[in-house]
Amino acid sequence: MSDLNAYSYYRKSEGLRDFWYPACWSKDLSPKRPTAAKVLSVPLVLWRDSMGRARAFLDVCPHRQAPLSCGRLVGENIACPYHGWTFSIEGQCVKIPAGDPEKKPKARLRSLPTFESGGQTWVWMGEKRPGQSLPYMEGLRADQGWSTVRLQQSFAVEVGDLIENFMDGPHTAFVHTGIIRTPAEPRPRKVRVSGDQSGLKVDHEPSVEHLPLLRLIGKKGPVQVRHTDAFWAPTNVKVDYWLGEDEPSFSALIAMAPNGPCQTEVFVSVSVRLGALNKPASLGLGLLARHILKQDANILALQRRNLEALSERPTVSVESDYPDIQIRALRDWLRKPSTEEPFVVKAREFTLYL
């Protein structure tokens, strides 16, 4: 992407801008140093004020466009590394070292609303008033007995293909053989797809499964499993598993920040709620989750290599691909804010062999 056209991807995103996007982990923000991030290809700089609140601005000095994240914090203010222009926590320029000290600077930084939840700092990328908080964060709070492992990885993949991968059950038996499932004995189960303009949910009916990853918590035999895969606009996936209990025992939130046609930053929070087994389960969870992400990255890289070699995308779909078809249609609808016809997710039930 050209340095002279840094916001082209942002502009092309149109209606997808008016959403909360993950910028960084909350633990990475400090009142002592600036943190750089990028969302929708837009460079951002974040730090904490004296009250501990997250603040976010465009990471571009209005003077000569140097990245402020490479500068330093002076109290709550940030100083540009190029000419020392200094900006307050409100974004107002308060000092120009080479300027007349009697003249009040007029330059300002553009600020972005922030929101912290689930160990992440989110930024509102749109022009409109920020929307409400994130409903899919429920169930990921430490005070509810969860143990959480957090991972971050860059994928050289278009975000739509990542969403499809993370929502897709059938690939787990082949890409993650011996970890999540095996292709040996697929079992039929009813799957129900529902949703609205905020997202889409795939409910898998309870089934007795032998999941290899349950060895992490000492469960070696088959167990009754129910799970849901949920997509929340614009780029978030949440997976929940119930292991014969009324409340979920396993939850994964995958929040994505697209930064170009084939560049996506992925933030993964994997949580377990197993009482006394939380600690032993979480010990191996990080390594296992990182290995699974690597397997996903490998197959998606092979897919991307073929897509780049083709002049068009020939796609043959079956019924199990229905959620992806609906999600892509929803994202296309959201991208065009002038669309008059409302988008309706067509609910469907089918049998999936998994």
Residue type at position 95: K
What does the alpha-carbon distance between residue 229 and residue 43 come to, in Å, rounded to a whole number? 31
What does the alpha-carbon distance between residue 22 and residue 254 come to, in Å, rounded to a whole number? 10
Looking at domain 20-124, its CATH architecture is 3-layer Sandwich (2.102)
Note whether 293 and 153 are within 8 A (CB): yes
pTM of the model: 0.90
Indicate the DSSP class of residue 263: -
Q: How do the domains of the chain map onto residue ranges?
A: 20-124, 142-353
Query: Tokens 């009040």 map to which residue?
Result: 104
Residues 6+ apart with CB under 8 A from 170: 320, 352, 354
What does the alpha-carbon distance between residue 318 and residue 87 come to, in Å, rounded to a whole number? 55
Model confidence pLDDT, tens digit, residues 16-73: 999 999 999 999 999 999 999 999 999 999 999 999 999 999 999 999 999 999 999 9
What does the alpha-carbon distance between residue 240 and residue 254 come to, in Å, rounded to a whole number? 12
- Give the Cα-Cα-Cα angle 90, 78, 13 (nearest 5 degrees): 65
Looking at domain 142-353, its CATH architecture is Alpha-Beta Complex (3.90)
Q: What is the mean pLDDT of the chain?
A: 87
Model confidence pLDDT, tens digit, residues 202-253: 999 988 776 666 666 556 667 778 889 999 999 999 998 887 777 777 889 9
Strand duo 93-95 + 86-87: pairing: antiparallel
Model confidence pLDDT, tens digit, residues 265-313: 999 998 887 776 677 777 778 888 899 999 999 999 999 999 999 888 8
Strand duo 72-74 + 54-58: pairing: unpaired
